Amino acid sequence: MAYEVQNGAMYHRLNLEGREKLTVSGVEDVERFDESCIIMSTCAGTLIVTGTNLHIGKLSLDGGELHVDGHIEGINYEEPVQPHRGMFSRLFA
């Protein structure tokens, strides 16, 4: 694959031009998208882009790159869900 690699891991980068153009590298999969929200898996976790009139201009999963056009209102990473730990696992961890 043509992913950028840094220190043995896939390289993740965000480049936002104004609030109209976003380029994301290190994209592994696009889970969901519409004109107001794009949810993607990246090598740094799940990334959620919100806004209005969002369009995916270019998607290259082989290269791990995604281009978004539209009015971008928010860029958030979703924290991975931690399994519930019991009292003993917290004491002895």
**Residue of 79, 24, 85, 13 whose CA lies nearest to 49:** 24
User: Would 15 be classed as within a structural domain?
Assistant: yes
Query: What is the pLDDT at residue 65?
Result: 95
Q: What is the pLDDT along the chain (93 residues), one digit of tens a residue?
A: 344 555 556 789 999 999 999 999 999 999 999 999 999 999 999 999 999 999 999 999 888 999 999 999 999 999 765 556 666 665 665
User: Would 39 be classed as within a structural domain?
Assistant: yes
Q: What CATH number is attached to the domain comprising 40? A: 2.60.40.2000
User: Would 21 be classed as within a structural domain?
Assistant: yes
- Report helix, strand or coil for 1: coil
Query: What is the pLDDT at residue 55?
Result: 96
Parent domain of 26: 5-79
Q: Which two tokens stand for residue 32?
A: 């969901």
pTM, full prediction: 0.76
Half-sphere exposure of 62 (CA within 13 A, CB side): 0
Domain count, the chain: 1
* Rounded-to-integer distance, Cα 87 and Cα 42, Å: 33
